[in-house]
Amino acid sequence: MKFFVSIFFCVLGVLQNVINAQGNNLPNPQLSRGRCRNRVVRKEVTSMTRQEWNDFANANVMLHNAGYFEGLAKIHDDYAMAIHGNGFFFPWHRRFVKHYEMLLQSMNRNVVVPYWDWTRNWQNPETNPVLSNRFMGGNGVGGGNCVRDGLIHDWDRSFPTQDCVKRGFRQGNTPGPFWPMDAVLRVLQSSNDFRTFSTNIENGPHGNVHLGIGLDFQEMHAPNDPLFFLHHGMVDRIWSIWQAQNPRIANDITSNDIDGNPISPDTLLPFYNEPISSSVFDGSSGYCYTYDDLATRSLEEFINKDDMRSRLKSQLGSVLPICNSTITEGYFPSVKPDTNHFMFAPNITARDQMNNLVRNEVLNILNCRV
């Protein structure tokens, strides 16, 4: 099945608003209306050229020095109740990532936000190059859990308190396994309407990554860490795939807000006061981007199941033709329901369904039967 990404973002002009966020004058670039002419490509982080990465990294340092990350974190925290656990989740965060990208481009117009494909090295995320000194840095260290390597090494933050940017992997030296692409594909293939798809992704792989990285990353001030935007770039990419896979309902936004009021394309996004349609419809606003590998590859080509199974079995050391719950939980403990804490406004039913889904996909990868 061929599918084509039809999300185009074109900035034809930038008007500057200024808002006050946690004492910082954070620019709020406004989207211009118009059609997309020249698409840019958002790449997976490790696919960036050295120059692309250096430009991206330097622009982030400039944003940090200007105090803009605290401003972004304040917006996300202030509107947390409105933008999570309901139909605003996908479109609002798409607009938020675009806000971040436009701030970067105010420092260097050539910068394009990359995404972090956390389905790679999913069973041992700490080995993913993105979480290394070469790119975004890894776990927090010492008693303060401050990040001391990578792009944000030794960064401080002033919101919500004066402190370092912290990460604390859920299982000590590892975040625990994230979602394999098999499981993401299963959600893509089985979610036949926007409401179901949004709920499943938010309470499934999206929440799992936030909890896995831990500490600041599982709080509403997580945008202090630019890894947040790479994570949500991946989340937006998954939505882009779903839209391309379902062209007849690609612009569907049927859902409800936190108070149960219906959401439509004309509903205004919290904080931005722009209609949701400007974050969804093809090339009809100030957006002009696509994601790498999405324009020509079929959905099934995103993963080679046989190769993945071979690699995983090799890492586990043996083939497990019969898997009981003890064996599965021994290798994949983080896919169990987490009742201690979660991102804001979790849908417990959806969370449990997604944990069961990913657990079953892991069993399939292992060719297990229970």
Asked if residues 140 and 167 have their Cβ atoms less than 8 Å apart, the reply is: yes
pLDDT of residue 58: 98
pLDDT of residue 326: 54
pLDDT of residue 75: 98
pTM of the model: 0.86
pLDDT of residue 229: 99
End-to-end CA distance of the chain: 32
In degrees and rounded to multiples of 5, residue 258 shows phi and psi of -65, -25
- 152-164 b/e with 16+ CB inside 10 Å = b? beebebbbbeeeb
Asked if residues 311 and 319 have their Cβ atoms less than 8 Å apart, the reply is: no
Amino acid at the residue 337:
P
Distance between CA atoms of residues 250 and 159, nearest Å: 37
Tell me the pLDDT tens digit for each residue of 308-351: 554 555 555 444 445 655 555 555 554 444 444 445 566 888 88
Asked if residues 161 and 204 have their Cβ atoms less than 8 Å apart, the reply is: no
pLDDT of residue 149: 97
Q: In the chain, what are the domain boundaries?
A: 37-313, 319-369
Residue 367, number of CB atoms within 10 A of its CB = 13
Low-confidence ranges of the chain (pLDDT < 70): 1-24, 281-286, 295-346, 368-370
Amino acid at the residue 123:
Q
pLDDT of residue 362: 80
CATH of domain 37-313: 1.10.1280.10
Write the CB contacts of 163 (distance below 8 Å, at least 6 apart in sequence): 144, 156, 157
pLDDT of residue 294: 74
Residues shown for the chain: 370
